[in-house]
C-alpha cells in the first residue's frame, strides 16, 4: 500500500461485530500520519518499545491500529520514522543552501524550514538515541547523522568565511542547533508553538552571529588538492576549499593507519573524483558500519567513499601541499591509545 493510501474500515471486509468495524465512522488515517505518530511516541518515551495501541492513541484515530498491516513489524515502522526525519533535514538543508544572502540568512532559512516540518509532524528524532536498535538500522542512523552534520557544518563554515557567523567551534555550533531541533516533545502546530519557534530562531541566530571581518583569502585559495598512495598507482583529486578536518582515535582507525590517530578531510562526493588506479583498490569490511579501502599494491590507506551519505573521508596524509584548513576536533577519544596524550585545545568527543 502506498504512502498516500488510507485505511477505511467502512469499505473493508470486516464483519459487523469486529473491532475494526466499530471505527467505521472515524476519519481515514494515512500511512504518513501513522509514521509521524510513532515518531512522537519514540521521542516522548526516549526508547523504541511501543505497542500499536499507543501509536493509534497518539494518532488520535482508532483506525491506526489497522495500519499494522502496512509494516512488517514495529522495527520496520521505526526505520521509517528515522527515514522521515532524515528526509526532513535533507529538505530543510536544501532550503538553507539555496537561500539568497549571507550564510546567516541561509542558516535562518534552514531553521525556519526545519521548524515548519517539526510543527507539522510533531517531532524530529535524534539519530544518536538508537543504540537499542538492530545493527543495520544503527548504521543507517549513523550515516544520516553524519550527512546532516556535514552539510550543516558546511553552512556554518561559509558564515565564518563571509563574516556573518561567529568564529566558534563548528562541532559545538552544530550540536547547539541539532539539540534545539531534536527535543523530545513538541506541541501541535498552533499560534503558541509558532511563537515559541520564532523565538527559538532568534535565540539561535543571536548565539551564532557575531559579525567579524571575513577570513583572509589564503583559506579560500586551495582550488584542488591532489591525493595519492605511496606507489602512485591510485590517485584522486578534491575540490576545495575544505571545511571539515578531524582526528579519529577509534581503535579501527588506529590499527588501519598504524598510528595514534587518523586525520581525515571530509568532502562531499561532488568534490571528489578518482584520477587513476581505481581498479587497484581493495576493500575490507571492518565493521557493520563501514569499510576500509587501501591500495592493493603498496597497502596505503585510501579514501572511504560513501554513496549513501554523499561523503568521502580522505586520509589527510595522502594529500599534497597546503590544504588551507587545520584539524577542528578529536573524535572517539574514548577509544584512544592509552600511551597517547592529547595536548592541544581542540574539542574532544567520546563517541563520535
Q: Please write down the HEC assignment for all residues of 226-241.
A: EEECCCCCCEEEEECC
pLDDT in tens, 301-345: 999 888 777 788 999 999 998 888 888 889 889 889 999 999 988
Q: In the chain, list all ranges with CATH 2.170.150.70.
A: 217-335
What is the tens place of the pLDDT at every residue in 105-150?
Answer: 999 999 999 999 998 888 899 988 777 788 888 888 888 888 898 8
CATH architecture of the domain with residue range 217-335: Beta Complex (2.170)
CA gap 172, 164 in Å, rounded: 17
Q: What is the structure's pLDDT at 315? A: 94
CATH superfamily entry for domain 81-208: Tetracycline Repressor, domain 2 (1.10.357.10)
pLDDT per residue as tens digits for the range 26-70: 567 788 888 998 898 888 887 888 788 888 888 887 777 777 788
CA dihedral sign, ordered 291, 296, 298, 302: negative
Q: pTM here?
A: 0.59
Give the separation between CA 76 and CA 206, rounded to whole angstroms: 40
User: Alpha helix (H) ranges present in 163-241?
Assistant: 170-181, 191-208
Tracing cell 464483519 back to the chain, one arrives at: 15
Residues 204-226 pLDDT 10s: 888 888 766 665 544 445 678 89
Residues of the chain with CATH 1.10.357.10: 81-208
- Ordered alpha helix ranges (H), 6-123: 31-45, 52-59, 74-98, 103-121
What does the pLDDT read at residue 12?
Answer: 35
Measure the CA angle with vertex 48, ends 286 and 287; round to 5°. Answer: 0
Amino acid at each position: 500500500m502506498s504512502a498516500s493510501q488510507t485505511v477505511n474500515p467502512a469499505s473493508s471486509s470486516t464483519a459487523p461485530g469486529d473491532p475494526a468495524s466499530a471505527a467505521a465512522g472515524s476519519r481515514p488515517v494515512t500511512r504518513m500520519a501513522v509514521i509521524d505518530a510513532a515518531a512522537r511516541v519514540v521521542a516522548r518515551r526516549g526508547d523504541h518499545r511501543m505497542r500499536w495501541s499507543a501509536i493509534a492513541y497518539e494518532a488520535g484515530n482508532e483506525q491506526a491500529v489497522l495500519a499494522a498491516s502496512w509494516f512488517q513489524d514495529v522495527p520496520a515502522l521505526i526505520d521509517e520514522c528515522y527515514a522521515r526525519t532524515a528526509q526532513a533535514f535533507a529538505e530543510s538543508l536544501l532550503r538553507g543552501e539555496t537561500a539568497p544572502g549571507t550564510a546567516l540568512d541561509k542558516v535562518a532559512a534552514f531553521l525556519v524550514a526545519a521548524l515548519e516540518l517539526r510543527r507539522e509532524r510533531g517531532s524530529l528524532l535524534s539519530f544518536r538515541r538508537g543504540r537499542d536498535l538492530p545493527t543495520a538500522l544503527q548504521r543507517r542512523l549513523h550515516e544520516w547523522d553524519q550527512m546532516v552534520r556535514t552539510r550543516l557544518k558546511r553552512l556554518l563554515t561559509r558564515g565564518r568565511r563571509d563574516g556573518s557567523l561567529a568564529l566558534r567551534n563548528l562541532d559545538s555550533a552544530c550540536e547547539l542547533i541539532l539539540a534545539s531541533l531534536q527535543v523530545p516533545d513538541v506541541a501541535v502546530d498552533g499560534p503558541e508553538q509558532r511563537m515559541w519557534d520564532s523565538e527559538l530562531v532568534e535565540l539561535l541566530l543571536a548565539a551564532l552571529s557575531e559579525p567579524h571581518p571575513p577570513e583572509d583569502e589564503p583559506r579560500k585559495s586551495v582550488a584542488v588538492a591532489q591525493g595519492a598512495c605511496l606507489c602512485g598507482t591510485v590517485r584522486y583529486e578534491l575540490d576545495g576549499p575544505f571545511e571539515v578536518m578531524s582526528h579519529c582515535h577509534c581503535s579501527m582507525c588506529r590499527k588501519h593507519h598504524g598510528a595514534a590517530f587518523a586525520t581525515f578531510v571530509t568532502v562531499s562526493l561532488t568534490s571528489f573524483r578518482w584520477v587513476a588506479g581505481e581498479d587497484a583498490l581493495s576493500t575490507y569490511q571492518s565493521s557493520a558500519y563501514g569499510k576500509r579501502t587501501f591500495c592493493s599494491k603498496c597497502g596505503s590507506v585510501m579514501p572511504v567513499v560513501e554513496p549513501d551519505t554523499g561523503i568521502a573521508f580522505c586520509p589527510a596524509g595522502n594529500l599534497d601541499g597546503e590544504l588551507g584548513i587545520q584539524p577542528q576536533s578529536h573524535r572517539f577519544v574514548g577509544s584512544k591509545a592509552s600511551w597517547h596524550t592529547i595536548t592541544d585545545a581542540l574539542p574532544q568527543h567520546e563517541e563520535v
